[in-house]
Amino acid sequence: MTAVETDLTRTQAATRTETLIAQTEQHVAHNYHPLEVVVSEATGATVTDVEGRRYLDFLAGYSATNFGHRHPALVAAAQEQLRRVTLTSRAFYNDQLGPFATELAALVGKEMVLPMNTGAEAVESAVKVARKWGYQVKGVPDGCAQIIVAAGNFHGRTTTIISFSGDETARADFGPYAPGFVTVPYGDLAALEQAITPHTVAVLLEPIQGEAGVLIPPAGYLTGVRQCTRRNNVLFIADEIQSGLGRTGRTLACEHEGVVADMYLLGKALGGGIVPVSAVVAGEDVLGVLHPGEHGSTFGGNPLACAVGRAVVSLLRTGEYQERAALLGDQLRAGLDRLLGHGVVAVRSRGLWAGIDIDPDLATGREVCARLAGYGVLAKDTHGSTLRFAPAIVIQKDQLQYGVDQLARVLGDLRSTPVRAGGAARRS
Ligand SMILES: *Cc1c(COP(=O)(O)O)cnc(C)c1O
Protein backbone atom coordinates (compact mmCIF):
# COMPACT_ATOMS: atom_id res chain seq x y z
CA MET A 1 0.00 0.00 0.00
CA THR A 2 1.24 3.50 -0.74
CA ALA A 3 1.33 6.14 1.95
CA VAL A 4 -1.67 7.86 0.35
CA GLU A 5 -3.68 4.63 0.32
CA THR A 6 -2.80 3.94 3.96
CA ASP A 7 -3.98 7.41 4.94
CA LEU A 8 -7.20 6.88 3.01
CA THR A 9 -7.87 3.54 4.73
CA ARG A 10 -7.23 5.16 8.08
CA THR A 11 -9.60 8.00 7.32
CA GLN A 12 -12.30 5.55 6.21
CA ALA A 13 -11.90 3.52 9.39
CA ALA A 14 -12.14 6.65 11.53
CA THR A 15 -15.25 7.69 9.65
CA ARG A 16 -16.76 4.29 10.34
CA THR A 17 -16.12 4.74 14.06
CA GLU A 18 -17.76 8.16 13.99
CA THR A 19 -20.74 6.90 12.00
CA LEU A 20 -21.38 4.00 14.37
CA ILE A 21 -21.11 6.22 17.43
CA ALA A 22 -23.45 8.82 15.89
CA GLN A 23 -25.97 6.14 14.95
CA THR A 24 -25.86 4.67 18.46
CA GLU A 25 -26.33 8.08 20.06
CA GLN A 26 -29.20 8.91 17.72
CA HIS A 27 -31.20 5.71 18.16
CA VAL A 28 -30.25 4.30 21.55
CA ALA A 29 -31.55 5.90 24.74
CA HIS A 30 -28.76 7.88 26.40
CA ASN A 31 -28.67 5.81 29.56
CA TYR A 32 -24.90 5.26 29.30
CA HIS A 33 -21.91 7.44 28.46
CA PRO A 34 -19.48 5.03 26.70
CA LEU A 35 -15.83 5.68 25.91
CA GLU A 36 -15.39 6.30 22.20
CA VAL A 37 -14.27 2.81 21.25
CA VAL A 38 -16.41 0.69 18.90
CA VAL A 39 -15.74 -2.99 19.55
CA SER A 40 -16.28 -5.48 16.76
CA GLU A 41 -14.39 -8.55 17.98
CA ALA A 42 -13.04 -9.99 21.19
CA THR A 43 -11.10 -12.97 22.44
CA GLY A 44 -9.80 -13.83 25.91
CA ALA A 45 -8.70 -10.68 27.70
CA THR A 46 -8.64 -8.50 24.58
CA VAL A 47 -11.08 -6.70 22.31
CA THR A 48 -10.58 -5.23 18.82
CA ASP A 49 -12.30 -2.12 17.51
CA VAL A 50 -13.68 -1.48 14.02
CA GLU A 51 -10.42 0.20 13.05
CA GLY A 52 -8.47 -2.95 13.89
CA ARG A 53 -6.93 -1.58 17.12
CA ARG A 54 -6.52 -4.10 19.91
CA TYR A 55 -7.14 -3.26 23.54
CA LEU A 56 -6.71 -5.08 26.81
CA ASP A 57 -10.14 -5.32 28.42
CA PHE A 58 -9.68 -4.32 32.06
CA LEU A 59 -13.42 -4.16 32.75
CA ALA A 60 -14.47 -7.61 31.52
CA GLY A 61 -18.12 -6.60 31.21
CA TYR A 62 -18.29 -5.65 34.90
CA SER A 63 -17.14 -9.24 35.57
CA ALA A 64 -19.58 -10.87 33.13
CA THR A 65 -16.57 -12.12 31.16
CA ASN A 66 -14.51 -13.39 34.11
CA PHE A 67 -13.39 -16.33 31.94
CA GLY A 68 -12.49 -14.12 29.01
CA HIS A 69 -14.33 -13.34 25.81
CA ARG A 70 -15.56 -16.42 23.95
CA HIS A 71 -13.93 -18.99 26.24
CA PRO A 72 -13.70 -22.12 24.04
CA ALA A 73 -15.45 -24.41 26.56
CA LEU A 74 -18.31 -21.94 27.01
CA VAL A 75 -18.74 -21.29 23.29
CA ALA A 76 -18.71 -25.05 22.67
CA ALA A 77 -21.40 -25.62 25.28
CA ALA A 78 -23.56 -22.89 23.73
CA GLN A 79 -23.06 -24.20 20.19
CA GLU A 80 -23.85 -27.73 21.23
CA GLN A 81 -27.06 -26.56 22.89
CA LEU A 82 -28.00 -24.35 19.90
CA ARG A 83 -28.17 -27.54 17.85
CA ARG A 84 -30.67 -29.14 20.24
CA VAL A 85 -33.17 -26.85 22.03
CA THR A 86 -32.86 -23.29 23.34
CA LEU A 87 -36.17 -22.44 24.98
CA THR A 88 -38.99 -24.46 26.46
CA SER A 89 -40.39 -22.11 29.13
CA ARG A 90 -40.97 -23.61 32.53
CA ALA A 91 -44.33 -24.98 31.32
CA PHE A 92 -42.32 -28.13 30.57
CA TYR A 93 -39.18 -29.73 31.98
CA ASN A 94 -35.96 -29.60 29.98
CA ASP A 95 -32.89 -31.80 30.25
CA GLN A 96 -30.48 -28.99 31.24
CA LEU A 97 -32.25 -27.28 34.16
CA GLY A 98 -32.11 -30.16 36.65
CA PRO A 99 -28.39 -30.81 36.10
CA PHE A 100 -27.62 -27.05 36.14
CA ALA A 101 -29.45 -26.50 39.45
CA THR A 102 -27.85 -29.58 41.00
CA GLU A 103 -24.34 -28.59 39.92
CA LEU A 104 -24.68 -24.91 40.85
CA ALA A 105 -26.22 -25.68 44.24
CA ALA A 106 -23.34 -28.10 44.95
CA LEU A 107 -20.74 -25.49 43.93
CA VAL A 108 -22.25 -22.98 46.34
CA GLY A 109 -22.97 -25.53 49.08
CA LYS A 110 -26.75 -25.11 49.06
CA GLU A 111 -29.75 -27.20 48.00
CA MET A 112 -31.94 -25.16 45.69
CA VAL A 113 -31.70 -22.73 42.80
CA LEU A 114 -34.19 -20.19 41.48
CA PRO A 115 -33.12 -19.52 37.88
CA MET A 116 -33.56 -16.01 36.47
CA ASN A 117 -31.86 -13.95 33.76
CA THR A 118 -30.43 -10.64 34.91
CA GLY A 119 -28.83 -9.67 38.18
CA ALA A 120 -31.60 -7.22 39.03
CA GLU A 121 -34.13 -10.03 38.63
CA ALA A 122 -32.18 -12.18 41.07
CA VAL A 123 -32.26 -9.32 43.59
CA GLU A 124 -35.99 -8.76 43.03
CA SER A 125 -36.56 -12.49 43.47
CA ALA A 126 -34.62 -12.51 46.73
CA VAL A 127 -36.67 -9.59 48.05
CA LYS A 128 -39.88 -11.51 47.31
CA VAL A 129 -38.59 -14.75 48.81
CA ALA A 130 -37.31 -12.99 51.95
CA ARG A 131 -40.64 -11.23 52.48
CA LYS A 132 -42.63 -14.43 51.99
CA TRP A 133 -40.26 -16.26 54.34
CA GLY A 134 -40.78 -13.45 56.84
CA TYR A 135 -44.56 -13.79 56.79
CA GLN A 136 -44.82 -17.54 56.57
CA VAL A 137 -41.84 -18.78 58.56
CA LYS A 138 -40.84 -15.96 60.90
CA GLY A 139 -44.40 -14.76 61.51
CA VAL A 140 -43.98 -11.07 60.69
CA PRO A 141 -47.37 -9.28 60.50
CA ASP A 142 -48.65 -8.93 56.95
CA GLY A 143 -47.22 -5.97 55.02
CA CYS A 144 -44.65 -5.10 57.71
CA ALA A 145 -41.54 -6.90 56.43
CA GLN A 146 -38.36 -4.83 56.45
CA ILE A 147 -35.10 -5.48 54.66
CA ILE A 148 -31.88 -3.80 55.80
CA VAL A 149 -29.49 -2.63 53.08
CA ALA A 150 -26.18 -0.78 53.10
CA ALA A 151 -25.42 2.78 52.05
CA GLY A 152 -23.50 2.95 48.80
CA ASN A 153 -25.06 -0.27 47.55
CA PHE A 154 -25.56 -1.25 43.95
CA HIS A 155 -28.11 -4.01 43.36
CA GLY A 156 -29.53 -3.08 39.96
CA ARG A 157 -31.88 -0.66 38.24
CA THR A 158 -35.48 -1.75 38.69
CA THR A 159 -38.03 0.45 40.47
CA THR A 160 -37.90 -1.51 43.74
CA ILE A 161 -34.11 -1.68 43.75
CA ILE A 162 -33.51 2.01 43.04
CA SER A 163 -35.92 2.74 45.89
CA PHE A 164 -33.13 1.74 48.29
CA SER A 165 -30.21 3.07 46.25
CA GLY A 166 -28.27 6.04 47.62
CA ASP A 167 -27.24 7.09 44.12
CA GLU A 168 -29.33 10.19 43.36
CA THR A 169 -28.71 9.90 39.62
CA ALA A 170 -30.17 6.40 39.66
CA ARG A 171 -33.12 7.47 41.86
CA ALA A 172 -34.23 11.00 41.06
CA ASP A 173 -37.53 11.31 39.19
CA PHE A 174 -38.26 7.58 39.31
CA GLY A 175 -40.49 7.63 42.39
CA PRO A 176 -42.80 6.83 44.08
CA TYR A 177 -40.36 4.57 45.86
CA ALA A 178 -41.02 1.13 47.29
CA PRO A 179 -41.19 1.06 51.09
CA GLY A 180 -39.84 -1.67 53.32
CA PHE A 181 -36.10 -0.91 53.19
CA VAL A 182 -33.84 0.52 55.87
CA THR A 183 -30.35 1.79 55.04
CA VAL A 184 -27.38 1.54 57.39
CA PRO A 185 -23.74 2.56 56.83
CA TYR A 186 -21.71 -0.18 55.11
CA GLY A 187 -19.19 -1.86 57.37
CA ASP A 188 -20.80 -0.59 60.59
CA LEU A 189 -21.91 -3.61 62.60
CA ALA A 190 -23.32 -1.62 65.53
CA ALA A 191 -25.57 0.39 63.20
CA LEU A 192 -26.81 -2.84 61.63
CA GLU A 193 -27.59 -4.44 64.98
CA GLN A 194 -29.48 -1.33 66.04
CA ALA A 195 -31.57 -1.30 62.87
CA ILE A 196 -32.88 -4.83 63.38
CA THR A 197 -36.47 -5.00 64.63
CA PRO A 198 -38.91 -7.91 65.03
CA HIS A 199 -40.11 -6.99 61.50
CA THR A 200 -36.70 -7.39 59.91
CA VAL A 201 -36.73 -10.33 57.50
CA ALA A 202 -33.36 -9.93 55.79
CA VAL A 203 -30.08 -8.08 55.49
CA LEU A 204 -29.06 -7.60 51.86
CA LEU A 205 -25.38 -6.81 51.26
CA GLU A 206 -22.58 -6.97 48.73
CA PRO A 207 -19.68 -8.72 50.53
CA ILE A 208 -17.50 -6.24 48.64
CA GLN A 209 -19.19 -3.17 47.16
CA GLY A 210 -18.28 -3.15 43.47
CA GLU A 211 -19.87 -0.08 41.92
CA ALA A 212 -19.02 1.92 45.04
CA GLY A 213 -15.36 1.45 44.08
CA VAL A 214 -14.43 -2.05 45.27
CA LEU A 215 -15.04 -1.20 48.92
CA ILE A 216 -13.95 -3.98 51.25
CA PRO A 217 -15.66 -3.93 54.66
CA PRO A 218 -13.54 -4.05 57.84
CA ALA A 219 -12.29 -7.54 58.78
CA GLY A 220 -14.85 -9.33 60.89
CA TYR A 221 -17.81 -7.39 59.49
CA LEU A 222 -19.33 -10.22 57.46
CA THR A 223 -18.79 -12.62 60.36
CA GLY A 224 -20.55 -10.14 62.63
CA VAL A 225 -23.42 -9.76 60.17
CA ARG A 226 -23.76 -13.53 60.07
CA GLN A 227 -23.83 -13.81 63.84
CA CYS A 228 -26.31 -11.02 64.40
CA THR A 229 -28.67 -12.14 61.62
CA ARG A 230 -28.65 -15.67 63.02
CA ARG A 231 -29.29 -14.42 66.55
CA ASN A 232 -32.26 -12.37 65.35
CA ASN A 233 -33.76 -14.94 62.97
CA VAL A 234 -33.03 -12.71 59.97
CA LEU A 235 -31.89 -13.95 56.54
CA PHE A 236 -28.46 -12.90 55.30
CA ILE A 237 -28.61 -12.29 51.54
CA ALA A 238 -25.21 -11.94 49.87
CA ASP A 239 -25.33 -10.20 46.49
CA GLU A 240 -22.35 -11.89 44.81
CA ILE A 241 -23.43 -10.91 41.31
CA GLN A 242 -20.16 -9.05 40.75
CA SER A 243 -17.95 -10.37 43.56
CA GLY A 244 -18.73 -14.05 43.00
CA LEU A 245 -17.57 -16.76 40.62
CA GLY A 246 -13.82 -16.45 40.83
CA ARG A 247 -13.24 -12.70 40.73
CA THR A 248 -11.82 -12.35 44.25
CA GLY A 249 -9.75 -15.53 44.21
CA ARG A 250 -12.55 -17.62 45.70
CA THR A 251 -15.80 -18.97 44.31
CA LEU A 252 -17.66 -16.57 46.62
CA ALA A 253 -16.29 -13.43 48.26
CA CYS A 254 -17.99 -14.46 51.54
CA GLU A 255 -15.49 -17.32 51.75
CA HIS A 256 -12.71 -14.87 52.61
CA GLU A 257 -14.31 -14.64 56.06
CA GLY A 258 -15.55 -18.20 56.13
CA VAL A 259 -19.09 -16.85 56.18
CA VAL A 260 -22.08 -18.77 54.81
CA ALA A 261 -25.05 -16.62 53.79
CA ASP A 262 -28.64 -17.85 53.63
CA MET A 263 -29.16 -16.71 50.05
CA TYR A 264 -26.57 -16.07 47.38
CA LEU A 265 -27.37 -13.93 44.36
CA LEU A 266 -25.36 -14.80 41.29
CA GLY A 267 -25.37 -13.35 37.79
CA LYS A 268 -22.90 -11.70 35.41
CA ALA A 269 -20.17 -14.39 34.98
CA LEU A 270 -22.77 -17.14 35.43
CA GLY A 271 -23.75 -16.53 31.79
CA GLY A 272 -20.13 -16.75 30.64
CA GLY A 273 -20.51 -13.45 28.77
CA ILE A 274 -22.74 -15.27 26.28
CA VAL A 275 -26.28 -15.09 27.63
CA PRO A 276 -27.80 -13.45 30.69
CA VAL A 277 -28.05 -16.02 33.47
CA SER A 278 -28.75 -15.24 37.11
CA ALA A 279 -29.82 -17.28 40.10
CA VAL A 280 -30.85 -17.19 43.71
CA VAL A 281 -29.14 -20.07 45.50
CA ALA A 282 -30.37 -21.05 48.95
CA GLY A 283 -31.53 -23.83 51.23
CA GLU A 284 -34.83 -25.62 50.84
CA ASP A 285 -36.00 -23.95 54.08
CA VAL A 286 -35.82 -20.59 52.27
CA LEU A 287 -36.58 -21.18 48.57
CA GLY A 288 -39.16 -23.76 49.59
CA VAL A 289 -41.58 -20.91 50.39
CA LEU A 290 -42.28 -20.47 46.66
CA HIS A 291 -45.14 -22.36 45.06
CA PRO A 292 -46.39 -22.57 41.46
CA GLY A 293 -47.56 -19.23 40.08
CA GLU A 294 -45.98 -17.10 42.81
CA HIS A 295 -42.87 -16.16 40.85
CA GLY A 296 -41.42 -16.87 37.43
CA SER A 297 -39.74 -15.85 34.23
CA THR A 298 -40.33 -16.98 30.64
CA PHE A 299 -36.61 -17.23 29.91
CA GLY A 300 -35.50 -18.26 33.42
CA GLY A 301 -33.96 -21.72 33.36
CA ASN A 302 -33.98 -21.98 29.57
CA PRO A 303 -31.84 -24.83 28.18
CA LEU A 304 -29.32 -22.55 26.44
CA ALA A 305 -28.74 -20.53 29.61
CA CYS A 306 -28.48 -23.72 31.67
CA ALA A 307 -26.01 -25.34 29.26
CA VAL A 308 -23.76 -22.27 29.43
CA GLY A 309 -24.22 -22.05 33.21
CA ARG A 310 -23.22 -25.70 33.57
CA ALA A 311 -20.06 -25.04 31.58
CA VAL A 312 -19.28 -22.07 33.85
CA VAL A 313 -19.78 -24.25 36.94
CA SER A 314 -17.44 -26.88 35.42
CA LEU A 315 -14.72 -24.27 34.98
CA LEU A 316 -15.10 -23.16 38.58
CA ARG A 317 -15.18 -26.71 39.94
CA THR A 318 -11.53 -27.15 38.93
CA GLY A 319 -10.50 -24.33 41.28
CA GLU A 320 -8.04 -23.21 38.61
CA TYR A 321 -9.66 -19.84 37.98
CA GLN A 322 -10.00 -18.95 41.64
CA GLU A 323 -6.32 -19.78 42.16
CA ARG A 324 -5.30 -17.81 39.10
CA ALA A 325 -7.34 -14.76 40.18
CA ALA A 326 -5.62 -14.85 43.57
CA LEU A 327 -2.16 -15.16 42.03
CA LEU A 328 -2.65 -12.49 39.37
CA GLY A 329 -4.34 -10.39 42.05
CA ASP A 330 -1.08 -10.31 44.03
CA GLN A 331 0.75 -9.10 40.93
CA LEU A 332 -1.89 -6.45 40.22
CA ARG A 333 -1.79 -5.23 43.81
CA ALA A 334 1.99 -4.99 43.88
CA GLY A 335 1.96 -3.01 40.62
CA LEU A 336 -0.74 -0.62 41.82
CA ASP A 337 0.86 -0.11 45.23
CA ARG A 338 3.96 1.18 43.44
CA LEU A 339 1.81 4.01 42.02
CA LEU A 340 0.76 5.22 45.47
CA GLY A 341 2.00 8.78 45.83
CA HIS A 342 2.51 9.03 42.07
CA GLY A 343 -1.02 10.08 41.21
CA VAL A 344 -2.74 7.25 43.05
CA VAL A 345 -4.03 8.07 46.53
CA ALA A 346 -5.54 4.71 47.52
CA VAL A 347 -5.77 1.13 46.29
CA ARG A 348 -8.27 -1.49 47.45
CA SER A 349 -8.21 -4.97 46.00
CA ARG A 350 -9.23 -8.55 46.51
CA GLY A 351 -8.12 -11.11 43.98
CA LEU A 352 -8.17 -9.73 40.44
CA TRP A 353 -10.45 -6.85 41.39
CA ALA A 354 -9.14 -3.42 42.29
CA GLY A 355 -10.51 0.02 43.07
CA ILE A 356 -7.95 2.76 42.47
CA ASP A 357 -8.47 6.30 43.74
CA ILE A 358 -6.72 8.82 41.52
CA ASP A 359 -5.64 12.17 42.95
CA PRO A 360 -8.72 14.27 42.08
CA ASP A 361 -6.56 17.31 41.41
CA LEU A 362 -4.85 15.41 38.62
CA ALA A 363 -7.84 14.26 36.61
CA THR A 364 -11.26 12.65 36.75
CA GLY A 365 -11.56 8.89 36.44
CA ARG A 366 -13.18 9.45 33.07
CA GLU A 367 -10.20 11.45 31.83
CA VAL A 368 -7.81 8.73 32.96
CA CYS A 369 -9.92 6.06 31.22
CA ALA A 370 -9.98 8.04 27.98
CA ARG A 371 -6.18 8.32 28.09
CA LEU A 372 -5.80 4.64 28.99
CA ALA A 373 -7.87 3.76 25.92
CA GLY A 374 -5.39 5.78 23.87
CA TYR A 375 -2.67 3.46 25.18
CA GLY A 376 -4.70 0.32 24.48
CA VAL A 377 -6.32 -0.40 27.83
CA LEU A 378 -10.07 -0.26 28.45
CA ALA A 379 -11.18 0.44 32.00
CA LYS A 380 -14.12 2.11 33.70
CA ASP A 381 -14.29 4.89 36.19
CA THR A 382 -16.78 5.00 39.02
CA HIS A 383 -17.64 7.88 41.35
CA GLY A 384 -15.45 10.79 40.29
CA SER A 385 -11.81 9.83 40.46
CA THR A 386 -11.99 6.11 41.15
CA LEU A 387 -11.00 3.49 38.58
CA ARG A 388 -11.90 -0.14 38.66
CA PHE A 389 -9.57 -2.78 37.25
CA ALA A 390 -11.12 -6.22 36.71
CA PRO A 391 -9.53 -7.95 33.73
CA ALA A 392 -10.55 -11.45 32.68
CA ILE A 393 -9.00 -14.16 34.84
CA VAL A 394 -7.44 -15.67 31.70
CA ILE A 395 -5.26 -12.56 31.23
CA GLN A 396 -1.54 -13.29 30.88
CA LYS A 397 0.96 -11.92 33.39
CA ASP A 398 2.67 -9.70 30.81
CA GLN A 399 -0.69 -8.33 29.67
CA LEU A 400 -1.60 -7.50 33.26
CA GLN A 401 1.75 -5.78 33.67
CA TYR A 402 1.19 -3.87 30.43
CA GLY A 403 -2.12 -2.54 31.74
CA VAL A 404 -0.59 -1.37 35.01
CA ASP A 405 2.33 0.20 33.11
CA GLN A 406 -0.10 2.16 30.95
CA LEU A 407 -1.77 3.55 34.06
CA ALA A 408 1.67 4.63 35.28
CA ARG A 409 2.27 6.23 31.88
CA VAL A 410 -1.05 8.13 31.94
CA LEU A 411 -0.39 9.36 35.46
CA GLY A 412 3.11 10.40 34.41
CA ASP A 413 1.69 12.36 31.47
CA LEU A 414 -0.86 14.04 33.72
CA ARG A 415 1.71 14.93 36.35
CA SER A 416 4.01 16.54 33.81
CA THR A 417 1.18 18.50 32.18
CA PRO A 418 -1.75 18.71 34.60
CA VAL A 419 -4.83 19.28 32.43
CA ARG A 420 -7.14 20.64 35.02
CA ALA A 421 -6.85 22.05 38.46
CA GLY A 422 -9.96 21.25 40.49
CA GLY A 423 -10.69 18.22 38.33
CA ALA A 424 -12.72 16.71 41.13
CA ALA A 425 -15.44 19.28 40.65
CA ARG A 426 -16.06 18.20 37.07
CA ARG A 427 -18.80 15.77 36.27
CA SER A 428 -17.56 12.29 35.43
C1 LIG B 1 -24.44 -5.76 38.11
C2 LIG B 1 -24.98 -5.97 39.45
C3 LIG B 1 -26.36 -6.18 39.65
C4 LIG B 1 -27.37 -6.07 38.54
O5 LIG B 1 -27.15 -6.98 37.51
P6 LIG B 1 -27.85 -6.73 36.08
O7 LIG B 1 -27.58 -8.01 35.33
O8 LIG B 1 -27.16 -5.56 35.46
O9 LIG B 1 -29.29 -6.50 36.32
C10 LIG B 1 -26.78 -6.44 40.94
N11 LIG B 1 -25.92 -6.49 41.97
C12 LIG B 1 -24.60 -6.29 41.81
C13 LIG B 1 -23.69 -6.38 43.00
C14 LIG B 1 -24.08 -6.01 40.55
O15 LIG B 1 -22.78 -5.77 40.40
| DSSP string across 220-252 | THHHHHHHHHHHTT-EEEEE-TTTTTTTTSSSS
For ligand 1, the distance from its centroid to the CA atom of residue 338, given in whole angstroms, is 31
> What does the alpha-carbon distance between residue 135 and residue 129 come to, in Å, rounded to a whole number?
10
Q: Is the CB of 381 under 6 A from ligand 1?
A: no
> Could you tell me the pLDDT band of residue 421, with boundaries at 50, 70 and 90?
very low
More confident: 417 or 5: 417
> What does the alpha-carbon distance between residue 51 and residue 333 come to, in Å, rounded to a whole number?
32
Give the mean model confidence (pLDDT) for residues 227-231: 98
Site to probe by mutation for ligand 1, drawn from 161, 268, 275 as the one with most ligand atoms within 8 Å of Cβ, is: 268
Contacts of 230 (CB under 8 A, 6+ apart): 236
| pLDDT for the residue 1 | 64
For a pLDDT cut of 90, what percent of the chain falls above it?
93
> Could you tell me the pLDDT band of residue 427, with boundaries at 50, 70 and 90?
very low
Q: Is the CB of 122 under 6 A from ligand 1?
A: no
Give the mean model confidence (pLDDT) for residues 329-348: 98
What stretches of 288-416 show up as alpha helix (H) in DSSP?
Answer: 303-317, 320-337, 365-374, 397-416
Site to probe by mutation for ligand 1, drawn from 241, 264, 266, 297 as the one with most ligand atoms within 8 Å of Cβ, is: 241
Atom 5 of ligand 1: nearest residue by CA position: 119
Between 1-15, 129-143, 168-182, 333-347, the lowest mean confidence (pLDDT) is in 1-15
Q: Is the CB of 333 under 6 A from ligand 1?
A: no
**Closest ligand 1 atom to 157 CA:** 9
- For residue 365, which of 351, 381, 344, 346 has the smallest C-alpha distance? 381
Q: Is the CB of 264 under 6 A from ligand 1?
A: no
Whether the predicted pLDDT of 356 surpasses 80: yes
More confident: 13 or 133: 133
More confident: 140 or 15: 140
> Could you tell me the pLDDT band of residue 352, with boundaries at 50, 70 and 90?
very high
| pLDDT for the residue 419 | 63
Site to probe by mutation for ligand 1, drawn from 124, 154, 237, 266 as the one with most ligand atoms within 8 Å of Cβ, is: 154
Q: Is the CB of 204 under 6 A from ligand 1?
A: no
> Could you tell me the pLDDT band of residue 418, with boundaries at 50, 70 and 90?
low
For ligand 1, the distance from its centroid to the CA atom of residue 5, given in whole angstroms, is 46
Q: pLDDT of 148-162, one tens digit each?
A: 999 999 999 999 999
Sheet holding 344-349, edge to edge: 344-349, 354-358, 386-389, 380-382
More confident: 176 or 384: 176
| Angle, CA 189 vertex, CA 185 and CA 195 arms, to 5° | 70
CA distances from 393 to 118, 256, 312, 379, 428 (A): 22, 18, 13, 15, 28
Give the mean model confidence (pLDDT) for residues 120-126: 98
| pLDDT for the residue 420 | 55
CB distance 263 to 235 below 8 Å:
yes
Give the mean model confidence (pLDDT) for residues 85-95: 97
Q: Is the CB of 386 under 6 A from ligand 1?
A: no
Strand, coil or helix: 71: coil
Q: Is the CB of 118 under 6 A from ligand 1?
A: yes
Sheet holding 235-239, edge to edge: 112-116, 278-282, 263-266, 235-239, 200-205, 146-150, 181-184
Atom 11 of ligand 1: nearest residue by CA position: 155
User: Which CATH number describes the domain made up of 33-63+321-416?
Assistant: 3.90.1150.10
Please give the DSSP secondary-structure letter assigned to residue 255. Answer: G
> Could you tell me the pLDDT band of residue 384, with boundaries at 50, 70 and 90?
confident
For ligand 1, the distance from its centroid to the CA atom of residue 266, given in whole angstroms, is 9
| pLDDT for the residue 325 | 98
For ligand 1, the distance from its centroid to the CA atom of residue 86, given in whole angstroms, is 24
For ligand 1, the distance from its centroid to the CA atom of residue 156, given in whole angstroms, is 5
Amino acid at 47: V
Average of per-residue pLDDT values in the chain = 95
| pLDDT for the residue 375 | 98
Atom 8 of ligand 1: nearest residue by CA position: 119
Q: Would you please indicate which residues are annotated as catalytic (active-site) residues?
A: 154, 239, 268
Give the mean model confidence (pLDDT) for residues 34-44: 97
Whether the predicted pLDDT of 423 surpasses 60: no
Give the mean model confidence (pLDDT) for residues 30-50: 97
Q: Is the CB of 156 under 6 A from ligand 1?
A: yes
**Pairing between strand 386-389 and 380-382?**
antiparallel
Give the mean model confidence (pLDDT) for residues 129-137: 98
More confident: 9 or 300: 300
CB distance 153 to 185 below 8 Å:
no
Atom 6 of ligand 1: nearest residue by CA position: 119
> What does the alpha-carbon distance between residue 290 and residue 57 come to, in Å, rounded to a whole number?
40
Q: pLDDT of 162-205, one tens digit each?
A: 999 999 999 999 999 999 999 999 999 999 999 999 999 999 99
**Closest ligand 1 atom to 206 CA:** 13
| pLDDT for the residue 7 | 78
| pLDDT for the residue 121 | 98
Q: pLDDT of 261-299, one tens digit each?
A: 999 999 999 999 999 999 999 999 999 999 999 999 999
Whether the predicted pLDDT of 74 surpasses 60: yes
